[in-house]
Amino acid sequence: MSNSASSNPALPVRLQDIEQQLKTRFLPSQLEVLDESAAHAGHSGANAAGFGSHFRVRIASAAFDGQTRVASHRLVYDEMQNFFAQGLHALAIEIVKPDRPA
């Protein structure tokens, strides 16, 4: 293992992996995942790669029907725990109604 890998073993999180996990778990009618890491360069939690640390998720799913906003956010955060362990630093969540645009 190289010195750079040993000093920061976490690899950047991939947008496609987040999308796939959310699709599998929530079967969303609408999903948008944005990697906003570049806008946070130099901030706490940002990585040297410039991607894979700060994401925004806009999601609509029947899984959130009858849930409070806090409960819906908690479901998404719970599903993303493995990504936080891999280097995801910040996740902004927007729960949208299936019949409304994001």
pLDDT digit string, tens, across residues 49-90? 544 677 899 999 999 999 999 999 999 999 999 888 887 888
What is the value of pTM for the model shown?
0.74
Residue 35 has pLDDT above 50, yes or no: yes
Q: Can you list the pairs that 77-85 forms with residues at least 24 positions away whose Cβ atoms lie under 8 Å?
A: 79/21, 79/22, 79/25, 79/26, 80/18, 80/21, 82/21, 83/13, 83/17, 83/18, 83/21
Please tell me the distance from the alpha carbon of residue 53 to that of residue 96, in angstroms, as a whole number: 23
> What is the topology classification, in CATH, of domain 11-95?
GMP Synthetase; Chain A, domain 3 (3.30.300)
Please tell me the distance from the alpha carbon of residue 20 to that of residue 48, in angstroms, as a whole number: 25
